[in-house]
Amino acid sequence: MATAFPGEFAFIEWVKKDQPDNDSMLVGIGDDCAVLAPSSRATLVTTDMLMEGSCFRLAEAGPYRVGRKAMAVNISDIAAMAGTPKTAFVSLGLPQSMSFEDAKELHRGLQSMAGEFGVVIAGGDTNTWDGGLTISVTLLGEVIGRGAVLRNGAKPGDWIFVTGPLGGSILGHHLDFTPRVDFARRLHEQVKLHAMIDISDGLAKDLHRIVTASGVGAELEAINIPITDDARRMSAQNGKTALEHALGDGEDFELAFTVSEEDGKQLLETYPPDRSTLRMIGRIVESGFWLLDGGHRHVLAPVGYEHHFGQSTE
């Protein structure tokens, strides 16, 4: 039988026990603050909060996968800047009904995803309450080589790429994805990435953020947008097209980015479609947001997932 949750202090004591180290952490969990060594590179900071009912269902996903996702969504944001993730801070609102074993599993999930990317958990806060499970992760990272890749650098004539197939992540991918840290770093070392974003709210919506930040437009080619089998599966059931799923579903956690045409050609030689998931899906234009489909140019709506205030998530 699961043991009752013994309290925050016992949990923190347990978490402290086998914390790995890294070169940037001088003092980790257990003091009033963590102490981090200064870095010669600029620091990236991101934070993301997951809430039971909105971002996951604990009973379906289980605490281990939820822990992995909470860490992975933050690592994906560091990937979106072509950076290296380093140090995480984890704040938990644990439901009073949660067992000690489930809390440990949650932490093991956070820890396992962190470990795969050399990230250490250097601190955080743990509370119990009578609401659902809430996990907030703050992640620090470092820029590499050419510096952080922002959203505002896309230029007319750029080619637009995505790092993998899109859509239907609700069938499981949203819990089990691998953040594209390594791919982003390799791309960033090879060519000059003009603008980049991780696809958390859907391709159309997230690409529209690049377009808006850069003051440009975009033209996507429907035939070149890579679609997951899960998007096809959902399409067969709900009547939405697989392309609509690829354009509008959230939580793919692939990267969308733009490069010059010349660099784009080079990338297609390095990552040919038969040996890579990288796809060229369109071009940056002066203005507008367009989808080329079957010889027609349609206005593309920046559809996607959005948190709405004052509405039930049920």
Residues that bind Mg ion (CB under 5 A): 77, 198
Q: What's at 62, amino acid-wise? A: G
- The torsion of the CA quartet 206, 273, 76, 188, rounded to 10 degrees, works out to -100
Query: DSSP string spanning 29-62?
Result: BTBSS-EE---SSPEEEEEEEEEBTTTB-HHHH-
Nearer to Mg ion, 77 or 142 (CB): 77
Nearer to Mg ion, 198 or 251 (CB): 198
- Shortest reach from residue 22's CB to Mg ion, in Å: 23
Contact predicate 120/167, CB 8 Å: no
- Shortest reach from residue 83's CB to Mg ion, in Å: 12
- Shortest reach from residue 46's CB to Mg ion, in Å: 8
Nearer to Mg ion, 72 or 246 (CB): 72
Bridge partners (DSSP) of residue 131 are none
Nearer to Mg ion, 100 or 305 (CB): 305
Nearer to Mg ion, 257 or 290 (CB): 257
Pairing outcome for strands 120-129 and 84-95: parallel
- Shortest reach from residue 24's CB to Mg ion, in Å: 23
Closest CA to 259 of 181, 145, 189, 155: 155
- Shortest reach from residue 235's CB to Mg ion, in Å: 26
Contact predicate 166/226, CB 8 Å: yes
